[in-house]
Structure 1
Amino acid sequence: MGLVVNPRLLDFALLCLIWGATWIGIKAGVESVPPLFFAGTRFVTAGVLLLALASFRGERVNVATEDRLRFLVVSLLMISLCYGPLFWGMRYISSGTAAVLELALTPIALLFFAVLLGDERVAVRHFVAIGLGVAGIALLFGPQALAEAAPAGPGSDRYAVGAFAVASAAFTYGLGSVVARPLLKTYPPFLVAGITTFVGGGALFAYALSFEAGAVRALRGDWGWAAWTGWLFLVLFGSLIGYTLYMRLLRDIGASRAGSYAFVSPVVAVVLGVLVFGETIKPLDIPAVILMLAGAYMAMATPSQAPRSDR
C-alpha cells in the first residue's frame, strides 16, 4: 500500500523551503541595488511571467468589473504597502529586530484579520500555535536584535519609526491576504498571483523611479553577478513559485494556517546559514527551532474553521 501524502502539506513544505531561502537573494540584491527598485522590478517581472503562464494554461486574463477594486486593494496591501515599508524600515533597525517583528507579527495579523472579517473562527489551538511560534522566534532572533539595537539607541526617533514601518508590513500583508481569499474562490491562483504582483510591483517601481536615490541609475543593470543571481532566484522561486503556492494555500486552508510558514522559514534559514555560510548553531537555536516547528504543527493540524464562501 503506497504512502498517501496530503498535497497541501507538500505545498506548505515547499513554500517554507523557498521562502526560507529568499533571504539570501534579498541580501545579495539590496547590497548593490536600491531596495525598492530591486523589489519593484522583481515583482513586475514575476507578474508578467505569471500572467503569461496563466494565458498559456488557458486561463483567461479577464477580471470582472466588480472585482477590479478588490484586486487593486490586494495588490497594494500585499505587495506595495508591505514591501515598501519593510525595506524602508530595515534601513533604520537591525536585521534581527526586523526578523522578530515581521515573522512574529505575520501569523498574528493573519489570524486577527481572518477573525475580524469573519473568514475563520478563533480556537484555543490558534493561540497555542502562535505562542509557541513567537517564543521560538524570540529565542532565535531576540538576543541578536537586542545586541544590534543597543548601539543605535532604541529611543531614537528613526529607530522607532523604522520599527513601526516593519511592523506595519506584517499587518498590511495580513489584511491583504484575507481580502484576497474571496478572489481565489473565483480566479485561479496563477491569475491572482500574476495580477497582484504586476500591479503592486508596478506601484513600487514607479515610486522608486520617482523618489528613491540611485533607482534611475540602476536601470543600466550594472548590478554585479551576485545581485542578478539573487534577483533571478527571487523572481523564479520567491515569486513565481512561492507566491503562487501561498495563494493556493490561502484558498485551501485559510489565512492563519497558511501564515504558519513564518514559523518554519527561519528554521530553513538557520540550516542554510550553516550549510552555505558556515555559520554556527548557538545554544538557544535548538530549543527555538523546536518551538517554531511545534507552533507550525499546531497551526497546520487545526481543522479549517468553516470559511465564508460569500463574496
Structure 2
Amino acid sequence: MSISVTINGGKTARLTGLVTALLFLIVCISWGTTWLGIKIAVESVPPLTSAGLRFLIAFPLFLAFAWMRRESIFFPRQRFGFFVFVTVCYFSLPYYLLNYGEHYVASGLTALLFSTMPVFILIFSGLFLRERIYLSQVIGIAIGFASLFMIIKTQGLHLAYSELSGVFAILLAAVMHALCYVITKQRGVGISVITFNTLPIGIAGLGLFLAGLLIEHPGLAAVTSRSWAALAYLGLAASVGGFIVYFFLLKRLSPVVLSFVFIIFPVFAVFIGAWYEGMPISPNMLRYTLLLLAGFAITKLPLERLLNTRG
C-alpha cells in the first residue's frame, strides 16, 4: 500500500509540475504578445482612448471575480491616498505612456525597454526599503543598460524626436511601475490582489477614455476590426487572463523564479513583433538582446548571495 501511495504521489507531483510549467509558459506568451496587441490597437485608436478601452473591457470581469470570491473592491478607508497612487501611477499614466510609446517604437523594442522594470524595482528597494544591493547586481545593471543603449542605436533611433520621446515614455512607464511595486510592499500589506486591481482598473479605464474623448476626439466608427480585436485581447487575455495565471503561480513558485517571466517574455515579444512588422532581426540586435537579458538576470541572482547560501 505504501508503494502504491508513493507511485500515485509521484505521478501527482509530476502532473503538478507539468501544469505549473505550462502556466508559466502561458504567462510568458501572454505578456510577450501584449506589446504587439498594443501596437495593433493604436493603429486606429489614439493612445489615451486605447488604454481606457482596454481597462473598460477588463473591468466587468474583475468585478465578476470579486463577486465570486466575495472580496471587497474597496481599499481600507485609511489607505485612500495609496488607492489614488495605485490608480494614477500604476494604471493610468503608465499605460497611457506605453500606448503613446508604441506609436513610434517597435513592439519588440518596447518589451525590451519595459523589461528594465525589475532593475528599477531593485534600485527603489535599495533607496526606500534599505534592501542590500550586491556588486554583481550593479554590474548586471551596467551590462543591461549598456546593451539597451546599443539596441536603440542598432535600431536606428538616433536623433528623431518622436522616436526618442517614445523610448523615454516607455522607460518612464517602467519606472512608475517599479516605484508602485516598492510602495505596495510598504503600504499594500493585507490588501488582496483582486481589491488592488478591480476598482483602480475601472476608474483608470473611465478616466483615460473620457480624457481621450476630450483631448483626442477619436472617431470610434473608424476603428478597424483589427484594433477592436487587439483591444479585446488586451482586456480579456492579457489583463485578466495573464493576471489570474500570474498570481496563481505566485502561490506556487518562489518570487525569484517567477520574476524570470520579465526576462523571458521580451524574447517572445522580439520574435513575434519582428515577424508581424516584417523587421528582420540582425545579428547585432540578437547579440545585444541576449546580453541585455543576461545582465538583468544577474540582478535577480546575485553571485554573492548564492555563494553565501552554498557556504
Structure 1: gaps spanning 5 or more residues: 306-311
1:294 maps to 294
Structure 2: gaps spanning 5 or more residues: 1-9, 306-311
AA aligned to 1:19 is W
Given the superposition, is the C-alpha separation of residues 37 and 59 from structure 1 closer, same or farther in structure 2, using an over 3 Å criterion? same
Given candidates 98, 108, 116, the residue that maps to 2:127 is 116
Q: Aligned partners of 2:65, 2:111: CA distance in 1, in Å? A: 35
Are positions 1:193 and 2:197 aligned together? yes
Given candidates 44, 61, 66, the residue that maps to 1:32 is 44
AA aligned to 1:263 is I
Superposed displacement of residue 109, structure 1: 2.1
1:42 maps to 54
SS at match of 2:44: coil
Report the number of matched residues: 291
Given the superposition, is the C-alpha separation of residues 163 and 24 from structure 1 closer, same or farther in structure 2, using an over 3 Å criterion? closer
1:128-277 aligned at under 5 Å gives the runs 128-144=139-155, 147=156, 149-150=157-158, 153-154=159-160, 163-182=167-186, 185-214=189-218, 217-218=219-220, 220=221, 222-244=222-244, 261-273=261-273
Q: Aligned partners of 1:73, 1:135: CA distance in 2, in Å? A: 31
Q: Aligned partners of 1:267, 1:235: CA distance in 2, in Å? A: 22
AA aligned to 1:130 is I
- CA-to-partner distance for each residue in 1:20-79, whole Å, 9 max, x for gaps? 111221121111112210111111221331122121123233431012221220121011
Segment drifting more, 280-289 vs 223-232: 280-289
Report the TM-score, using the length of structure 2 for normalisation.
0.75
AA aligned to 1:20 is G
Superposed displacement of residue 245, structure 1: 5.3
Given the superposition, is the C-alpha separation of residues 208 and 260 from structure 1 closer, same or farther in structure 2, using an over 3 Å criterion? farther
Contact 2:32 2:111 in 1 (8 A): no
1:309 maps to none
Q: Aligned partners of 1:238, 1:193: CA distance in 2, in Å? A: 14
Q: Aligned partners of 2:185, 2:236: CA distance in 1, in Å? A: 23
Q: Aligned partners of 2:299, 2:19: CA distance in 1, in Å? A: 17
Contact 1:189 1:244 in 2 (8 A): no
Q: Aligned partners of 1:179, 1:249: CA distance in 2, in Å? A: 22
Segment drifting more, 109-118 vs 274-283: 274-283
Given the superposition, is the C-alpha separation of residues 63 and 104 from structure 1 closer, same or farther in structure 2, using an over 3 Å criterion? closer
Superposed displacement of residue 160, structure 1: 6.2
Root mean square deviation, CA, Å: 3.8
2:88 maps to 76
SS at match of 2:71: coil
Superposed displacement of residue 227, structure 1: 0.9
Given the superposition, is the C-alpha separation of residues 94 and 197 from structure 1 closer, same or farther in structure 2, using an over 3 Å criterion? same
Contact 1:260 1:299 in 2 (8 A): no
AA aligned to 1:107 is P
Report the TM-score, using the length of structure 1 for normalisation.
0.75
Given the superposition, is the C-alpha separation of residues 258 and 124 from structure 1 closer, same or farther in structure 2, using an over 3 Å criterion? farther
Q: Aligned partners of 2:146, 2:250: CA distance in 1, in Å? A: 24
SS at match of 1:185: coil
